[in-house]
Amino acid sequence: MVSRLLKTPYGWLRLILILASLAALNTFLLVTYGVEFSVSFVDSLVFVPLIFSGVMLLENIFRFYQPKKANSWLWVAVPLVLGGMVVFFGGMALERLMKEKTDYLVFLHDGRLVRGVFVLLLFGAYTGLLIIGGLLEDQLEARKRAEMIDKLSKEAELYHLRQQLQPHFLFNSLNSISALVKRQPDKAREMVLQLSEFLRGTIRKNQLEWVSVKEEVKALRLFTEIEMVRFGHRLEVDFTVSEEVETLTLPSLLIQPLLENAVKHGVYGRTDEVFVKLAITKLGRYLNIMISNPYDPEAVNSNGKGFGLESVKRRMYLLFGRHDLLRVDKTASLYTVNLSIPITE
């Protein structure tokens, strides 16, 4: 509308050109009907500013007051009143200015109805545009609020998921430290230091921060060292990370619950050495993380609720709106998790 036009570059200049064009058109039409040019010009100087003032008044009234259903009659009444005022005061001003131009005064009086209909149609059309514009703005504002609420809800849920993971891992580690304190105090001390460093790193990170693969792998290696203190020679984790992916980014601590899940289910029910493999590669427009561990269907821990996998699935959906980015493959002896992260860079 007019207020928006004024906010654009050279808005005032455009508005002046529009008003000048309307004045020129009005002058041309009056001259065509036989009115003197000077008189036609004065007519335009009176009516065009009055019409513009009425348009601005309409816009400001309905910008700050949107009639509800009970007062919907105001959408018709206000343009009618303003249109009538424009025609009345414009005619009165011209009668005083042109009191010696009797031919023009007759034309002015006879043409009052036509001019009034034109002004009312103009104000009515502009009011219609204001109604449509207001509805569109309300819909846009409602959509923005809904998106903001959805975003805040997702951020809160992501934060909640991260907060759930920390106690989960911390509880397991503290249990292991407690078991080591008497038997192997040196290893218990080593694990405390590693755990402290790992938790310090996670606390420093923003809950929704994206980190480079290189930084994430560094945290995963520290996590692996803690787990190797817990399980000793029984556990070995092999990292395969291609150089091309080290600078790519992913949500922080996204892989850790998957690796923890692989370690837990790989070691559970086994006394021999367990190999867990983690490979991070680039496949097209995706960062692919594959984690595999030995799997014995008959020895699966019945107490496990699969929180790690479910939390990652939920995070991926909240971040990307997709359910197909995490895939689990099982064979008689191998459990493999494939996670595909869309590359956003």
Residues 54 and 178 in one domain: no
* Rounded Cα distance, 271 and 287, in Å: 34
Residues 99 and 154 in one domain: no
Domain boundary among the residues 79, 110, 141 is at 110
Task: Tell me: pLDDT of 302 over 50.
Answer: no
The residue ranking higher by pLDDT, 275 or 230, is: 275
Q: What is the mean pLDDT of the chain?
A: 81
Domain hosting 50: range is 2-110
Residues 36 and 159 in one domain: no
Task: Tell me: pLDDT of 164 over 70.
Answer: no
Mean pLDDT across 11-17: 79
Looking up residue 249, the CATH number of its domain turns out to be 3.30.565.10
Domain boundary among the residues 110, 129, 158 is at 110
Task: Tell me: pLDDT of 141 over 80.
Answer: yes
Domain boundary among the residues 110, 130, 159 is at 110
Task: Tell me: pLDDT of 101 over 70.
Answer: yes
Residues 277 and 180 in one domain: yes
pLDDT for res 213:
93
Residues 297 and 184 in one domain: yes
Task: Tell me: pLDDT of 225 over 70.
Answer: yes
The total number of structural domains that make up the chain: 2
Task: Tell me: pLDDT of 56 over 80.
Answer: yes
Task: Tell me: pLDDT of 210 over 80.
Answer: yes
Task: Tell me: pLDDT of 25 over 50.
Answer: yes
Residues 75 and 164 in one domain: no
Cβ pair 212, 345 in contact under 8 A: no
**127 domain residue, yes or no:** no
**124 domain residue, yes or no:** no
pLDDT for res 10:
73
Residues 258 and 178 in one domain: yes
Residues 100 and 156 in one domain: no
**129 domain residue, yes or no:** no
Most confident of 172-176, 193-197, 227-231, 258-262: 258-262
pLDDT for res 299:
62
Residues 92 and 229 in one domain: no
